[in-house]
Amino acid sequence: MPIYQAPVRDTLFVLNEVLGIQRHSNLPGFAEATPDVVEAILSEGARLAQEVILPTNRKGDLEGCIRHDDASVTTPSGFKEAYRQYCEGGWIGLSVPAEHGGQGLPYVLHNAVGEYMAGANMALMMYPGLTQGAIAAIIAHGSDEQKATWLPKMVEGTWTGTMNLTEPHCGTDLGLLRTRAVPAPDGSYRISGQKIFISAGEHDLAENIVHLVLARIEGAPAGTKGISLFIVPKFKLDADGRPGERNGVSCGSLEEKMGIHGNATCVMNYDEAEGYLLGPENGGLKAMFVMMNEARLGVGLQGLSQSEVAYQNAAAYARERLQGRSLSGPKAPDKPADPIIVHPDVRRNLMTIRAWNEAGRAFMLWTALKSDIARRSADDKERQAAEDMLGLMTPVMKGVLTDKGFEHAVMAQQVFGGHGYIEEHGMSQFVRDARIAMIYEGANGIQALDLVGRKLAMNGGRAIQAFFKEVGDFCEEHRADEGMAPFTKVLKKGLNDLQAATLWLMQNAMQKPENAGAASADYMHLTGLVAMGYMWGQMAKAAQQALAQGAGDDASFYENKLITARYFMERVMPESAAHLARISSGADTMMALPAEAF
Amino acid sequence: MPIYQAPVRDTLFVLNEVLGIQRHSNLPGFAEATPDVVEAILSEGARLAQEVILPTNRKGDLEGCIRHDDASVTTPSGFKEAYRQYCEGGWIGLSVPAEHGGQGLPYVLHNAVGEYMAGANMALMMYPGLTQGAIAAIIAHGSDEQKATWLPKMVEGTWTGTMNLTEPHCGTDLGLLRTRAVPAPDGSYRISGQKIFISAGEHDLAENIVHLVLARIEGAPAGTKGISLFIVPKFKLDADGRPGERNGVSCGSLEEKMGIHGNATCVMNYDEAEGYLLGPENGGLKAMFVMMNEARLGVGLQGLSQSEVAYQNAAAYARERLQGRSLSGPKAPDKPADPIIVHPDVRRNLMTIRAWNEAGRAFMLWTALKSDIARRSADDKERQAAEDMLGLMTPVMKGVLTDKGFEHAVMAQQVFGGHGYIEEHGMSQFVRDARIAMIYEGANGIQALDLVGRKLAMNGGRAIQAFFKEVGDFCEEHRADEGMAPFTKVLKKGLNDLQAATLWLMQNAMQKPENAGAASADYMHLTGLVAMGYMWGQMAKAAQQALAQGAGDDASFYENKLITARYFMERVMPESAAHLARISSGADTMMALPAEAF
C-alpha cells in the first residue's frame, strides 16, 4: 500500500516565504487568506488526501471502471464515498467566485491543495478536475441564465463536467472535426457524432454530467473557424431545473488504457442530443481554450503530484531496504546490510526527483499566483504582465512538469529494483498513471509548439523579454552576495543559453518555420530549466534569510533546501548547454530523410 | 496489431561492411559463415520472427500466464507452437559448439538473429534466452558427465533453463542469500529455500526445466564466499536420462507484473530438492557470472529490440495519420491534412530513436564479435584484447541500451498521441515490456557501478585505455578527410569529455569511492555515447566508401545512413558535456542530506 504525506510545510514555505502571498492582500479573496486560514486549508486538504482519497488509489487501478450493458458505468469501490467527502468539503469551488457558489479564495490555494489530491489519487481527481475546467468555461462564456442553470450544481459537485474535443480522425487538428449541430426551433441544437477519449464521460458519481462539446453548426465554415461549443447534459433539466429526461448521449464503450484505470475514458455517442450554444456561434475553439488552459495547468500539476508520491515511496523504501554496504564503510553495522539510501546512485535518483519537485511546486504556485493576478488585479499593467507570464508558462508547466513527472516516476520505480516492476508495491501504477499527462490536453509536442510558435512571438516577445528581465535582475541583485553565488552563477549561465536560443530562433525561424518546430521541445525544456533554476534561486535566498534570522528548530529544513538547491545547480542545470546545441543545429538534418525511408 | 520487419539489410551492412566479419574466417565457425550462409540465416530468422513469433506477442500480453492449483503453469495460446518451431529451426544452439549439439556458428550471428526474435516477442524469447545462459554456465563449469547429461536436450529446447538468484530479502546483495544445500550420501545435495522473480520458472513449453540455483552449503562461510551453484531439475532423470520422478521444487505463485506478461515470473519453492553441484564448492558466484554476463548482453539486446519494434510502428503511424499541415506548406494538399511525419517534433522522436537503434545494432554486433574472438581466437593477445573490451562494454550494452530502449518505446508511444495510451495499438506493451530490461540481470545502477568500480580499474585501466586509443586512432586516421569531419570532430569532442571524466575519477575516486558511485550512471552513459558515436563514425565511413564505389540502387540506403549519422552528431552527442559536468561535480552534495530528511 503506497504512502503519501502531503508536503504542507513545503507549500507554506513557498506561499509565505518565497512568493509572499500576503503582499497581495489587495486582490479579491486574498485578504481572507490570512496565514492561519491558509495553514488550516492546507492541513485539512492534506488530511482528506491522506485519509480519504489515498486509500482508493490502488483499488481504482486494480478494479478499473466497468461499463454495463445499459451503457452505465460503475467507478471502482470507494470512489463514490471519497468523492462525496471531497465535494462536501467545498473543494471544487474553493477559488470559484462566491456569486457562483464558490468560496472565492485564491486560485493559488486551489492548486496547492490540488497537488495533494492528485498525489493521493490522480484518476479520481480527474472527475472534479474536469468539472472545474467546465465551470471556468461557463463562467467565461455563459449567459447569465446558463451560469445560473449549471454552475451551482457543478460547484457543489452534484453534477460533473467533461470536455468533448477528440474524434477518431481528429485529435490535435480540431479543424477536421465532424460532429454536427442542427438548430432546433426552440433555439437549442441537436448534436450528432462520435467523440473519443472522453475522460469522466460516464460514471456513477454524480446526478448529471454536463458535457461541453465541440461541434460544427450546419453550414458553418470549414476548419477551425466553423466550430462552436455546446453544453450537452446527460439528463435534460425539467421545469424545476432538475435532471429529467435522458438526453441522446451515451457511452459506447470504455477504452482499455495503460493507466488511470479509475477514470472512465469513454467513447461518447451523440445522437440528436439536445445542446445549448455556449459563447458565440463559430467561436467554439476560443471558448474551449479557456477550459483548456485551466486544464493544462491542472495536468502539469498532475505531473508534479505523481513525481512527489513516487518519490515519497521510493525514499521510504530506500531507508528500509537493506542491501550491500556503503562505499565509505558500513552505516548499519548491526544489520546484515546497510539501507540502500547509502548508495550514491540511489541518492542520485532521489535527489534528482526531489530537486525537481521542490522547484516544480514553487513554479506551479508562482504560475497559479500569476493567474490570480491576471484575473483579479485592478491594475491594468500588473494584470497584463501576469497574463503574459501565465500564457508563456502554461505550456512549460504542462509540458515540462509532465515529462519530468513521468521520468521521475520511472526513477522512483527503479529504486525498488524488481519489486518496482511487480504491481504489488504500486510503483508501476504511478508510472502508468503519470504517462497520460504527457499526452492529454495537448501532447507535449503541441505544448512546445504553442510556446515557440505562438507564445514566444506574441506582442513582439513581450512575455519572454519580461522573464529575461526578471531572472536577469534577480541574478544582478545578488551578484555581490557570496552566499548566493553558487546559485546565481549557474542560473545566469542557463539564462544566457536561453537568451542565445531565443536569438537563434529570431534569426532562423522567421524565414524557415521548421527551425522553430525542430527546436520546440528543447526550447520548452530549456525554458523550464531556467524557470526552475530561478525558483531555486529564490528559495535559496529565502532559506538563507530564514537561517540568518535564526531558524531554531527549523534550521535543518532550510539547510536541506540549500543542499537541494546546490544539487539542482550542479546536476540538473548543466543540461542547458545541450539544449542550446540541439536547438541551434536547426531542422535541416531532422527533415532530410524522405518519409518513405522511415 | 503491431508490425515488425526484421532489419536484415541493416544487420548485413554492419556485419559485412562495418565489422567485416569475413576477415575473421580463421576463427572456428567463421569459415562456415560465408556471406551466402549469413544472409540465408538472417533471412530465415527474419521469416520466423515475423511470421511465427510476432503473432503471439499481443496475445501473450493480454492472456498472460496462468498458474493452476496443481502449481503447473500454462503459457499464452500460441506460445507452444511458436516455441516448437523456434527449437526445430535449431536457433537455440546456433553458436553452441557442435560437441554439445549446436551448430558452432559465430555468436555474432546468434545475436543478430536474437534481435529479431526479441523484437517479435520479448516475453516468449526469454524462455530459450534463459536456457542459453544456463547452457553457457554448464559448458563453462560442468563436468563432462554433466555436460553430456544436460546439454543436448537443452540445446534442442526440449528442456529449458532458469537462473535462481533472488530471494525476498536479497536481490543485488547475494551475500545475504539463505537457500541452503545439505549434502546427501550419494554426492548430491538437498536444496531448500525460496527464490523469487524467477523468469520461466514454470511453464508448459518443455519436458523438463533445469534450474541453476545459488545456495549455501551447510557450514559454508558467510557472505558471497559461501555460495555454490547447483543444477536442480524439475523432474529428476531416470536411469535412461529421461525426466522421471518429480523433484522437490514447485512454483508457489506468479507475480503480477507491469509487462512481459507472456513470461512466467515465479516464486519458486525448494523443499529438499535434489541438486547437483555445478563447479567448485563455494565458487557459485563466479560460475553464475558466466551465465550473468551472457544474460546481460541478451538484456541489452532486448532494449534494442523493443526500441526497434516501437520505432517501426511509430514510423508507420506517422506516415499514415493525417493531422495538421506542414510548417513549410501542405505536403498532401489533396487530403484533409498532412501525415504527421511532416512535423519536425514527430521527426525528432523518430530520428532520435533511429539514430540510436542503428548505432546500438552496430555496437551490439561489435560487442558480440569481441565475444567470438575472446572465446575462439588462437592468438593470446587478440583474445585478451577482445576479452578486455567485452568486459568493459558488457555493462554499457546492458545499461545504456536498456535505458534507451525504454526511453525510445516511450517516445514512439508519444507519436501515437492518445492512441498510444490505449492498449489497442500495442504501444503500451512495448513500453511496459521494455521497462523490465532496465531492472533485471542487475539493475542499471549496478551496471554503472560494475563499469566504474570494477571494469574501469581492472589491469590498470587497460581496457578503457585500449578503447581511447581505438577511437582516438579512428579520429586521427580520418582527420584529413573532409567528408568525415562532421563525424570525427564531434566524436573527438565526446572522447575528450570521456577522457576528462576518466581522469577526474582517477584523481578523485581512489580516496573517496563515493565520488565513483555518484559519477557512475553518467559515466556509463557517457561511455555509451562515445561508443555509439564511434559506431556512427565507422558506419559513415563505410557508407561513404560504398557511395564512392557507386552504390547504384542502394545509394539511398547509404545516403540515409549519412543523414542519420549527422543527426546523431548534432542532436545526441552534445549530451557528453552535461555528463562530464555532472560527473565532476562529485558526491558531496549528493550525499549531504541525512537519510531521515528524505
Of B376, B297, B378, give the one whose Cα is nearest residue B104: B376
Tens-place pLDDT, residues A187-232 = 999 999 999 999 999 999 999 999 999 999 999 999 999 999 999 9
Q: Which of B441, B477, B570, B596 is catalytic?
A: B441
A476 is catalytic: no
The confidence score (pLDDT) of residue A358 equals 98
> pLDDT grade, residue B286 (50/70/90)?
confident
Residues of chain B contacting A413 with CB distance shorter than 8 Å: 435
Instruction: Give the integer Cα–Cα distance in Å for B383 and B369.
Output: 11
DSSP A204-265: SSSSEEEEEEEEEETTPPSGGGG-EEEEEESEEE-TTSSEEEEPSEEEEEE--BSS-TTS-E
Sign of CA dihedral B374, B377, B381, B385: negative
Q: What is the pLDDT of residue B291?
A: 81
Helix (H) or strand (E) holding A428: helix A427-437
Q: Residue A326: closest CA among chain B residues belongs to which residue? A: B514
Mean pLDDT across chain B: 97
HSE value, Cβ hemisphere, 13 Å, CA-based, for B422: 20
Closest Cα in chain A to B170: A323
Identify the CA nearest to A351 among candidates A143, A149, A499, A567.
Answer: A567
Q: Is this complex scored with an ipTM above 0.85?
A: yes
* Catalytic residue selected from A320, A387, A441, A559: A441
Q: How many residues does chain B have?
A: 598
Chain A residue numbers touching B575 (CB-CB < 8 A): 578
Dihedral through CA B326, CA B332, CA B335, CA B339, nearest 10? -60
C-alpha torsion sign, points B341, B346, B347, B351: negative
Q: Buried b / exposed e across A289-328, counting CB within 10 Å, b at 16+?
A: ebbbbbbbbbbbbbbbbbbbbbbbbbbbbbeebbbbbbbe
What does the pLDDT read at residue B391?
Answer: 96
Q: Using the structure block, give the residue that is written with the C-alpha cell 582527420.
A: B479
C-alpha B83/C-alpha B128 separation (Å) is: 8
CB A25 within 8 A of CB A31: yes
Q: Which residue is it, cell 571524466? A: B501
Q: What are the residues whose beta carbons fall under 8 Å from the beta carbon of A141, sequence distance 6 or more?
A: A229, A278, A279, A287, A290
Q: Would you give per-residue pLDDT tens digits along chain A (598 residues)?
A: 899 999 999 999 999 999 999 999 999 999 999 999 999 999 999 999 999 999 999 999 999 999 999 999 999 999 999 999 999 999 999 999 999 999 999 999 999 999 999 999 999 999 999 999 999 999 999 999 999 999 999 999 999 999 999 999 998 899 999 999 999 999 999 999 999 999 999 999 999 999 999 999 999 999 999 999 999 999 999 999 999 999 999 999 999 999 999 999 999 999 999 999 999 999 999 888 878 888 999 999 999 999 999 999 999 999 999 999 999 999 999 999 999 999 999 999 999 999 999 999 999 999 999 999 999 999 999 999 999 999 999 999 999 999 999 999 999 999 999 999 999 999 999 999 999 999 999 999 999 999 999 999 999 999 999 999 999 999 999 999 999 999 999 999 999 999 999 999 999 998 999 999 999 999 999 999 999 999 999 999 999 999 999 989 999 999 999 999 999 999 999 999 999 999 999 999 999 999 999 9
| Closest CA of chain A from B443, distance in Å | 6
Residues in A closer than 8 angstroms to B163, CB to CB, are none
| Chain A hits for B513, Cβ within 8 Å | 327-328
- B8 has pLDDT over 90: yes
| Inter-CA distances, A396 with A216, A285, A400, Å | 31, 21, 5
Q: Compute the distance between CA of residue A418 and CA of residue B256 in angstroms, rounded to an integer.
A: 12
Predicted local distance difference test score (pLDDT) of residue B361: 98
Closest Cα in chain B, distance from residue A342 (Å): 8
Domain boundaries, chain A: 460-591
CA B48 to CA B86: how far, in whole Å?
A: 8
Beta strands in B105-242 (DSSP E): 159-164, 180-183, 189-199, 208-217, 228-233, 235-237
Report CB contact under 8 Å: B172, A324.
Answer: yes
b/e for B109-135, b at 16 or more Cβ within 10 A? bbbbbbbbbbbbbbbbbbbbbbbbbbb
Looking at residues B111-116, what average pLDDT do you find?
98
Q: Give A362-418 pLDDT, tens digit per residue.
A: 999 999 999 999 999 999 999 999 999 999 999 999 999 999 999 999 999 999 999
Quick count: other Cβ atoms within 10 Å of Cβ A207? Answer: 14
- CA B580 – CA A347 distance, rounded (Å): 19
Listed in sequence order, the residues at least 6 apart from A107 whose beta carbon sits closer than 8 Å to its beta carbon are A95, A368, A371, A372, A375
Taking a C-beta distance cutoff of 8 angstroms, is the pair A425, A419 a contact? yes
In sequence order, the β-bridge partners of residue A214 are A229
By the 8 A CB rule, do B100 and B155 touch?
yes
User: Is A512 in Cβ contact with B328 (below 8 Å)?
Assistant: yes
Residue B427: pLDDT band (50, 70, 90) is: very high
Residue of B nearest to A317 (CA): B598
Q: What pLDDT was estimated at residue B334?
A: 96
